[in-house]
Structure 1
């Protein structure tokens, strides 16, 4: 049986979201039988669109700018209409991740936008699957899901610091998301009836 294909499709403005994308990919690669690719969505080629069309799972990523996904991600979403027309992404798994400078920064809205895009394509959304961290006196900023987001992986990066200083907890949360999506893709592959069979 062919490997599960998981593609991380993202835009990164200053490198922080790219580092989170690497963490998501690392998590996915930790699952046996899963191959991963990354696609920068700013200037999509036909080959990159075809890579997404052939994937079992697509994990979307974008920084949160002014309360939503970046303009580059919005352009990618608009340009995916040909996939919508042909139902090319129907029943694929989808998930999302985002980063912004503020603790909240309305990151949830960005993840909701990605989930709605996935729903319009008929995709199946995979949530983070973690309880909230850092919400008790016994917790700390080193907890997984320290920002308390359930829809996807969220990271906070200080606006005056580079991606090398990102929170390790946020990166580990991204790894968790990638691993979770890969595991769910393997589970679904094992239970699906091949096309054309009775």
Structure 2
């Protein structure tokens, strides 16, 4: 049973969350986890002006996701930062390239899930995840969120990401805040939850 984590990360917040999601997936027996990133669309010149060029270079060891990776997976967990309450352009462009998979019904029945980050507490975490769900539903995927059995999302002892729609983190206006332990726990829970459901679907289909 293969779980694919596909992400875009500019300053490392989503990459850190992706690694926590991967830890959660590994906690499910029989789950193979694959980590991929979507292609960068910004030029090196722009990335340098944004102070992200060296960070992006450090991600080069993570392979670029292919359409074949999507088709081979039993579950796909997408990680995208928020841009004005929606997914980032890099993720949008990647998903827009999946029309052939849609035409062939290649992703129908696969488990799909989403995690995100925003600069501020109310910066569009939920709208980003929900609007990404629309694309996954068009592909016929089975949407999985972050259930309230992850009790960390109900905390009032700290400012924290996390909602029933998926795991999330708050990065800060300058990207100065990395995911808290509670947010990482949410990402781990999401990974394990998705992998558990995918395992049940795969095992039932083979009976």
Q: Distance in 2 between matches of 1:42 and 1:22?
A: 18
Q: Does 2:162 align with 1:141?
A: no
Q: Taking structure 1 as reference, are residues 148 and 162 closer, same or farther at Cα in structure 2, changes over 3 Å only? A: closer
Q: Is the 8 A contact 2:36 2:64 kept in 1?
A: no
Q: Which runs of 5+ in 1 are unaligned?
A: none
- After TM superposition, the score normalised by the length of structure 1 is 0.85
3-state SS, counterpart of residue 115 of structure 1: helix
Q: Is the 8 A contact 1:133 1:147 kept in 2?
A: no
Q: Distance in 2 between matches of 1:30 and 1:46?
A: 25
- What does residue 116 of structure 1 align with? 134
Bigger shift: residues 54-63 or 126-135: 126-135
1:3-30: per-residue Cα shift (whole Å, max 9, x none)?
x100001111111011111111110011
Q: Does 2:26 align with 1:21?
A: no
- What does residue 86 of structure 1 align with? 104
Q: Distance in 2 between matches of 1:72 and 1:93?
A: 22
Q: Distance in 2 between matches of 1:48 and 1:184?
A: 24
Q: Count the aligned residue pairs.
A: 183
Structure 1 vs Structure 2 CA RMSD: 2.1
Q: CA deviation at 1:124?
A: 0.3
- What does residue 151 of structure 1 align with? 165
- What does residue 49 of structure 2 align with? none
Match of 2:77 among 35, 54, 59: 59
1:52-102: per-residue Cα shift (whole Å, max 9, x none)?
101000001100011111000110111111110111111000000000111
Q: CA deviation at 1:47?
A: 7.2
Q: Distance in 2 between matches of 1:8 and 1:47?
A: 9
Q: Does 2:124 align with 1:106?
A: yes
Q: Distance in 1 between matches of 2:161 and 2:14?
A: 16
Q: Which runs of 5+ in 2 are unaligned?
A: 41-62
- What does residue 204 of structure 2 align with? 191
- What does residue 7 of structure 1 align with? 4
3-state SS, counterpart of residue 135 of structure 2: helix
